[in-house]
Amino acid sequence: MKRIKNFMLFVALFATAFVSCETENPPPEKIFNKVAYVTNYGSYSGSKSEISIYDTDSSLITHDAYKAANSVDFTSNIESMSIHEDIAYFMSNNGDKIDIVDAKTLQASVNPISTDITKPRYFAADGNIAYISCWGDVDDWNVMANSYIAKIDLSTKTVAKIALPGGPEGVTIIGNKLYAALTTTKKIAVIDLSSNDISYINTLAIPYHFVVDDAGYLWASMVSTYTVPVGLDSVGLTQIDPANNEVLANVNFSSIGSNGFIHISSDKKTVYALGKEAWPGTASSIYSIDVSSQTLSSSALVSGESFNGFGVNPENDNIYVLISPSATENGSLKIYNSSGSLIDEEVTGISPKHVVFYNIEQ
């Protein structure tokens, strides 16, 4: 019995010592599974979207991740995906809705938001409020008079509309202002989020997407479209000072693709832009723009055919190029390092369009 008491005392003292030691040590390092979610747009009239997951550590890709998580196909076309506070949002068309899923598991526990959501495009959020560009019912693609920003309370899922004619596409929030690229005009809309007052920044070409550089300046892609053709000397990228919404620089990139996809490096010193050769050329490319010198690279970092979108991994600046040969067959993902050497290639679903990088905590 005495032996048992001694043993218990020893255990108690050891445990006390162990606990006291533990409180002095740093918490154990979190383990993340680093993935790239690839949204496959699918075919508008046929097969719909799916999510492919590329594990950036193991270099393995898995497909149909949404169905695997929810036991149902996605069944509409994902325009874009955003992750905000560990919740993933899919903006999709045909049917028109915003799906809300756990960013770690892609599992949905609530129904999509579809009321007052028509042709949703891109997402920006500040705290508990999200702003989604929506094209609305389109009578005239040259005007898109019914487009708007859907302001969503992410707690209650209620939607309020801020009318914004002109077909807003890319959106980003800087300070108390929402910047929205209007795809039928040479203007960027700036919405004061306190008053909903709208002002405009005039641009040389049609704005599409935004990134913010290391100095906090806004970069917008500038393209020419079928409905509003613009001279090749006016397209490329525009740098804007958000403090006064003045245009600081225009960088000409004459072969910028009409979807205006741009991304920024992890240090926010290099902007990457997707280029498409003018018909009858068929080549696609990715060029880089040095933020400090505001100059375009003299040659393409990556070249190929049928680039449909791309992303830049914030961990290592590897470039994930999404290739879509047609709307009736699967596409592919090609991964290049920051100097343009091919690292890996995988098959994706139909029309892969966006890459969203996410670290899943284990």
For another protein, the binding residues (CB under 8 A) are 40, 42-43, 46-48, 50, 70-73, 75-76, 93-97, 108-112, 114, 117-119, 137-139, 226, 257-258, 276-280, 282, 304-306, 308, 323-332, 347, 349-351
Smallest distance from another protein to CB 293, Å: 27
* Distance separating alpha carbons of residues 16 and 289, to the nearest angstrom: 58
Smallest distance from another protein to CB 331, Å: 7
Smallest distance from another protein to CB 97, Å: 5
* Distance separating alpha carbons of residues 188 and 136, to the nearest angstrom: 18
Q: What is the DSSP string of 18-38?
A: HHHHHHHSPPPPP-EEEEEEE
Q: What is the DSSP string of 136-180?
A: -S-S-TTT-TT-EEEEEETTTTEEEEEE--S-EEEEEEETTEEEE
Report CA-CA distances (Å) from 43 to 327, 343, 355.
5, 28, 18
My answer on whether omega of the bond before 309 falls inside 30° of 0, hence cis, is no
201 or 323: whose CB is closer to another protein? 323
Smallest distance from another protein to CB 10, Å: 53
116 or 126: whose CB is closer to another protein? 116
107 or 266: whose CB is closer to another protein? 107
58 or 107: whose CB is closer to another protein? 107
Smallest distance from another protein to CB 63, Å: 9
Tokens in use for 103?
């960013």
Smallest distance from another protein to CB 307, Å: 9
* Distance separating alpha carbons of residues 236 and 338, to the nearest angstrom: 21
DSSP lists the bridge partners of residue 246 as 241
Helix or strand or coil: residue 132?
A: strand
185 or 330: whose CB is closer to another protein? 330
203 or 351: whose CB is closer to another protein? 351
